[in-house]
Amino acid sequence: MNNTDIFKIIKSIKGYQTSLKHDSYDKRQKNSNKPFQKYEFLGDRVLGLVISEYLINNFSNSSLDEISRRFIHLVNTSMLAKIFKKHDLIEIFKHQLDPQSSKNSIYADALESLIGFIYINKDLNFTKEFIYLLWNDELNTLPLKDPKTFIQEYSQKKNKKIPQYKLIDELGTKHKPKFLVELKINDLTVEGEGISKQKAEIAAAKKMIKLIDSK
């Protein structure tokens, strides 16, 4: 199955044009009860299931930390937008998205909505094939990530927000300073210490990764 086949199948599904219409196309009709938002909600979960299953099956000897890093790398907003543009999926959304919009978040939402729509109207196996086709060149990639980058991608995926580091105290002496930084994501909070603010933030990010993995 190639892009052309995918496009033909999607366009043959009744109602795809109205079901996949994003708020950016008609801001006057913005509400949270549109099919687009519901398909996006579902698509996010289906994508997570398919990618998680792939990683567990293909990286069974890897640590949970590495699998988590791979997962976040494959489903973050930047990756979804990259795949959306790479496969020219705007062809599917010509009358569903604002043609002037170029926000990665909108492209990512559109791709998740499309995945949810395909799942409902086809089946899981077809949806898997669709995801594998689009993610084919990315599934086995793992860029080296420092802890702060990992946490940023995780937070953007979960909350669509950049994580916030808060300096809460400066300890030590002028020659031996110690900085205390707080990092909070949703209901998870950790603190990190370091001889500089940057090192304290890295320490906090490492603690947050361990806390996430333990959940």
Of the candidates 44, 109, 153, 201, the residue annotated as catalytic is 44
In the predicted model, what is the mean pLDDT of residues 13-40? 65
Separation of alpha carbons 93 and 110, rounded Å = 8
The reply to whether 44 belongs to the active site is yes
pLDDT for position 1: 64
How far is Cα of residue 5 from the mean position of the Cα atoms in its chain? 26
The reply to whether 112 belongs to the active site is yes
Domains assigned to the chain = 3-135 (1.10.1520.10), 147-214 (3.30.160.20)
In the predicted model, what is the mean pLDDT of residues 190-213? 89
Of the candidates 23, 109, 112, 153, the residue annotated as catalytic is 112
pLDDT for position 28: 45
pLDDT digits (tens, 9 = 90+) for 69-105: 889 889 988 899 999 888 888 877 765 565 555 678 8
